[in-house]
Chains A and B, each alone.
Chain A
Amino acid sequence: MRAVLCRRYGPPDSLVLEDMPSPKPGRGEVVISMRAVGVSQANVLIVADNHPNKRALPFIPGGEAAGLIKEIGEGVTAFKPGDAVIGAGKDGGCAEEVLASVDRLYLLPEGMDFTQIVGAGSYATSLHALRDVARVKPGETVLILGAAGGVGLAAVDLAKQMGARVIACASSPEKLDLCRQYGADELINYDGEDLRGAIKKAGGDKGLDVVIDPVGGKYADPAVRGMGWGGRYVIIGFAGGFVPDLPLNLPLLKGCAVMGMSLHRLAQHDPQAAKALRADVIRLLAEGKIRPHICATYPLEHTADAMNDLRLRKVLGKVVVVAGGA
């Protein structure tokens, strides 16, 4: 079987496609014949060795894989060959065959599109951020940075459904237009001048109740300054290239909280909560309540192209890597 390998850290072009022996499922494991796999900014950053979650070389990049179970290991009773599933591999998902533990494997409802469920991956992050960390209430103002990205657009979609007023920030008119289609109430091109003033204006007298920040970098400071009393700022990632510092006088005077989250850590500390979250997203997609936006699909051999699109900020919503005629 073929797999994408990271043998040295660097830009996506340093990835290689190799033939490898098919994985064999051990106790409590299955092998998924991959049809679709999510690639995201986190994968780009991990391949560049610029992410808090470090991976030892060599490794297979990629996120959760969806497909059909090819083979099950000893002691596996809840799944059988031929089942449609999604799960996190022991290694990354950019391979034709993905070895996964049943602990983090989910059955997909009849007929669910593999590309769609993979494209919905960021909804788990944004649902957790908005519902469990920030606890958004109807009528609150939610500002979203990187709002046309994977996490960002899912946050726009979910925050609107929670009854929030959504301010979407992104870097181009095309990206902002997509946010508008997902229901954003106000749009800010954050590479325009005076971001601080634009955020203050959009936040109104009360200021922002919630900020969803998967970008960090230079956008964080103006967003923190736009917070209102009792606000919650949720740190999700650092796609913007550097990790900002918070001067502690800002939250003091605003009576606000700067919080953070990582699904990776959630899975370690509270596996039950992580599982429930995953199941929630499958259900939301099955019910047609969420609409992942997939701007492009790439075959496995073009995984680097998908990652380059992410790195060059060309992606609207999600890119998905596919195999085996998904």
Chain B
Amino acid sequence: MRAVLCKEFGPPTSADRVTIEDIPAPVPKPDEVVVSVKAAGISFPDVLLLQNKYQYTPALPFTPGSELSGIVKSVGMEVKGYKPGDAVIGKNKGCCAEEVAVPASKLWHLPAGVDFNAAAGFSGNYATSYYALRQRANLQPGETLLVLGASGGVGLAAVDLGRMMGARVIACASTAAKLAACKQAGADELINYEIEDIHVRAMELTGGKGVDVIYDPVGDRFAEPAARSMGWNGRYLIVGFAAGAIPKISFMLPFEKRCALMGVWSGGYTQRFPRESYDNITELVAMLAVGKIRPHISGIYPLENISEAFRALANREVIGKVVITTGK
């Protein structure tokens, strides 16, 4: 079977960063399921992994990709609930391959009729944003949600989920095209933060009250003006620092506004609360199946063109999510 391999760390944009090779097909361990992959999701952390800039150093060679959709090919001895032919999505390392072994605890059944591309690319981003908005912020209908980096992977998921949960969504992004995608995902208000002042606009849009929840996957110079725009009892969700620098916020801010600066780390949540975290994705799959959420897949690349997908991610061109298809 074919798999994408990274054999050496280096610039993610160079065409030879990854190669496609034939390697032996995986055999399931007792608790594993081997999935014949239809599509795999890649995201910014993969770009960091290729450069050895992520939180951990992967052993070389490694296969990128952290989520997949496909059809069960074979199951391990102890696996219950899955059989060959079942449509599934799964989360694991090394998903950019034609066949991947996944522990059964990281698989979900995919209802009939759900698009394999959308299903492959949504669970990571939506799981993070759902955990953030629901378990962390407890976002309520009618509240105002401001999303930074709103056209990115987790950002656009937050816009879509905010809409679904009945919030008034203010999307912030850097270009008109990105903002148009946010509008399509259901954003009520748009701020182009390259040319507009986040704080001034957010206060205008809330009639001086400030926003209830802020979702921040970008950090850097965007964080402080956003944090100053929080209202009484506001919740500021710290999700990531895609824009580079780790911002610092004065203790005076939560003191004055009685608001909370809340860390969101969905990986940490999954480690500590595997059951709740699994159930979140089960709920999201059900919402996907009935069209309550609408993940935006902006690029679909065949396996052999994966370098182009990495280039788009690294160059900040991706809106929503890109997926890799195996053609199977």
A238 within 8 A of B: yes
List of A residues within 8 angstroms of B239 by Cβ: 252
List of B residues within 8 angstroms of A139 by Cβ: none
CB distance from A272 to the nearest CB of B (A): 14
Q: In the complex where A248-B219, A252-B265 touch, is A260 in contact with B248 (Cβ < 8 A)?
A: no
CB distance from A81 to the nearest CB of B (A): 38
B300 within 8 A of A: no
Contact A253 B246 (CB under 8 A): no
| Complexed CA–CA distance, A256 and B238 (Å) | 10
Most buried by B among A238, A249, A254: A249
B250 within 8 A of A: yes
Segment from A27-35, A102-110, A262-270 that makes contact with B: A262-270
Q: How large is the interface on A (under 10, 10 to 19, 20 to 34, 35 or more residues)?
A: 20 to 34
B208 within 8 A of A: no
CB < 8 Å neighbour of B264 from A216, A255, A260: A255
Contact B261 A262 (CB under 8 A): no
| Complexed CA–CA distance, A255 and B265 (Å) | 6
Residues 269-295 of B contacting A (Cβ, < 8 Å)? 269, 272
B78 within 8 A of A: no
List of A residues within 8 angstroms of B263 by Cβ: 248, 250-257
Contact B249 A252 (CB under 8 A): no
CB < 8 Å neighbour of A251 from B232, B238, B251: B238
B257 within 8 A of A: yes
Q: In the complex where A252-B238, A255-B268 touch, is A265 in contact with B256 (Cβ < 8 A)?
A: yes
Per-residue interface assignment for chain A, residues 116 to 146, with 1 indicating a CB less than 8 Å from any chain B CB and 0 otherwise: 0000000000000000010000000000000
A235 within 8 A of B: yes
Residues 219-269 of B contacting A (Cβ, < 8 Å)? 219, 223, 232, 238-241, 246-265, 268-269
**Residue on B with the closest CB to A261?**
B258
Secondary structure at the B interface, as helix, strand, loop or mixed, is mixed
CB < 8 Å neighbour of A260 from B238, B241, B255: B255
Secondary structure at the A interface, as helix, strand, loop or mixed, is mixed
Q: How large is the interface on B (under 10, 10 to 19, 20 to 34, 35 or more residues)?
A: 20 to 34
**Residue on A with the closest CB to B247?**
A248
A247 within 8 A of B: yes
Contact A258 B256 (CB under 8 A): no
| Complexed CA–CA distance, A248 and B237 (Å) | 10
A220 within 8 A of B: yes
CB < 8 Å neighbour of B249 from A216, A229, A245, A261: A245
Contact A251 B262 (CB under 8 A): yes
| Complexed CA–CA distance, A229 and B248 (Å) | 20
| Complexed CA–CA distance, A261 and B223 (Å) | 21
**Residue on A with the closest CB to B227?**
A248
List of B residues within 8 angstroms of A238 by Cβ: 251
| Complexed CA–CA distance, A245 and B258 (Å) | 16
| Complexed CA–CA distance, A150 and B238 (Å) | 33
Contact A260 B251 (CB under 8 A): yes
List of A residues within 8 angstroms of B259 by Cβ: 259-260
CB < 8 Å neighbour of B258 from A216, A247, A265: A265
Per-residue interface assignment for chain A, residues 68 to 111, with 1 indicating a CB less than 8 Å from any chain B CB and 0 otherwise: 00000000000000000000000000000000000000000000
| Complexed CA–CA distance, A236 and B252 (Å) | 10
List of B residues within 8 angstroms of A326 by Cβ: none
Contact B269 A247 (CB under 8 A): no
| Complexed CA–CA distance, A261 and B255 (Å) | 5
List of A residues within 8 angstroms of B232 by Cβ: 265, 269
Per-residue interface assignment for chain B, residues 62 to 88, with 1 indicating a CB less than 8 Å from any chain A CB and 0 otherwise: 000000000000000000000000000
Q: In the complex where A248-B246, A260-B256 touch, is A220 in contact with B251 (Cβ < 8 A)?
A: yes
Most buried by B among A260, A262, A265: A260
| Complexed CA–CA distance, A249 and B263 (Å) | 8
**Residue on A with the closest CB to B269?**
A255
**Residue on B with the closest CB to A237?**
B255
**Residue on A with the closest CB to B253?**
A260
| Complexed CA–CA distance, A235 and B259 (Å) | 10
**Residue on B with the closest CB to A252?**
B263
A112 within 8 A of B: no
CB distance from B196 to the nearest CB of A (A): 22
A246 within 8 A of B: yes
CB distance from A173 to the nearest CB of B (A): 28
A325 within 8 A of B: no
| Complexed CA–CA distance, A250 and B261 (Å) | 11
Contact B248 A52 (CB under 8 A): no
A244 within 8 A of B: yes
CB < 8 Å neighbour of A246 from B248, B258, B268: B248
A243 within 8 A of B: yes
List of B residues within 8 angstroms of A220 by Cβ: 251
| Complexed CA–CA distance, A252 and B240 (Å) | 8
Contact B268 A229 (CB under 8 A): yes
Contact A245 B255 (CB under 8 A): no
Contact A252 B264 (CB under 8 A): yes
Contact B256 A248 (CB under 8 A): no
| Complexed CA–CA distance, A269 and B209 (Å) | 12
| Complexed CA–CA distance, A237 and B268 (Å) | 31
**Residue on B with the closest CB to A242?**
B251
**Residue on B with the closest CB to A256?**
B263
Q: Which residues of B contact A (CB under 8 A)?
A: 219, 223, 232, 238-241, 246-265, 268-269, 272
Besides the contacts A243-B251, A258-B251, what 8 more A-B pairs have beta carbons closer than 8 Å?
Answer: A52-B252, A52-B255, A229-B272, A245-B248, A251-B262, A255-B264, A260-B251, A260-B254
8 tightest CB-CB pairs across the interface, nearest first?
A260-B254, A251-B263, A260-B255, A245-B248, A252-B263, A259-B260, A257-B262, A258-B261
12 inter-chain pairs at a CB distance below 8 angstroms, sorted by A residue, are A237-B255, A238-B251, A245-B248, A248-B248, A251-B263, A252-B263, A252-B264, A255-B265, A259-B258, A260-B253, A261-B255, A262-B256
